[in-house]
Amino acid sequence: MSNKVIHVLYNDDDILMDAVRKTRAAHHHIEEIYTPFPVHGLDKAMGLAPTRIAITSFLYGLVGLSVATTMMWFIMIQDWPQDIGGKPSFSYIQNMPAFVPVMFEMTVFFAAHLMVITFYMRSKLWPFKQAENPDVRTTDDHFLMEVAVHGDVDQMVSFFEGTHAVEVKVIEKH
Partner 1 sequence: MVLGLLGIGYSFFTAPKTIEDVERIEAENAAHGHHGDAAHHDAAPHAAHGSATEATAPSHEGGEAAHDTTHAVAAEAPHEAHDTIQAEAAVAAAGHEGHNNNDGDPHTQEAHAPHADAHAAHEGHDDAHAAHKEHEEHLKHTLVQLQNKPWSALYVSALFFMLISLGALAFYAIQNAASAGWSPVLFRVMEGISGYLIPGAIIVFLVFIAGALDMHKIWIWMDKDVVAEDHLIQAKSGFLNKTFFLIRAAIFMGGWIFYRQYSRKNSLAQDEATDNSYFKKNFKAAAGFLVFFIVSESMMSWDWIMSVDPHWYSTLFGWYVFASFVVSAVTVIAMVTLYLKSVGYLEYVNTSHIHDLAKFMFGFSVFWTYLWFSQFMLIWYADIPEEVTYFKTRIEDFNLPFFGMVVLNFVLPILILINTDFKRLTWVVVLAGTIILCGHYIDFFNMIMPATVGKQWFIGAGEIGALMFFLGLFIFVVFTTLTKAPLLAKRNPLIEESKHFHY
Binding region for partner 1 (CB under 8 A): 54, 58, 86, 97-98, 100
Residue placing its CB nearer to partner 1 in the complex, 98 or 170: 98
Report the C-alpha gap between 140 and 26 in whole angstroms.
29
76, amino acid identity: M
Taking the complex as a whole, the smallest distance from the CB of residue 100 to partner 1 amounts, in Å, to 7
Query: Residue 4, SS3?
Result: strand
Contact 63, 107 (CB under 8 A): no
Q: Are 33 and 46 in contact (CB under 8 A)?
A: yes
Minimum distance from residue 19 beta carbon to partner 1 (Å) = 22
Q: Which is nearer to partner 1, 44 or 173 (CB)?
A: 44
User: How far, rounded to the nearest angstrom, does the alpha carbon of residue 88 sit from its chain's CA centroid?
Assistant: 45
Shortest Cβ distance from residue 91 to partner 1 (Å)?
Answer: 15
Task: Give whichever of 87 and 113 is closer to partner 1, judged by the CB atom.
Answer: 87
Residue 47 vs 97, nearer CB to partner 1: 97
* Least gap, CB of 18 to partner 1 (angstroms): 19
Listing from the earlier edge strand, what are the strands of the sheet with 167-172?
30-34, 143-148, 4-10, 167-172
CB of 55 to partner 1, least distance (A): 9
What gap in Å lies between CA 105 and CA 124, rounded to an integer? 28
Nearer to partner 1 among residue 89 and residue 138 (C-beta): 89
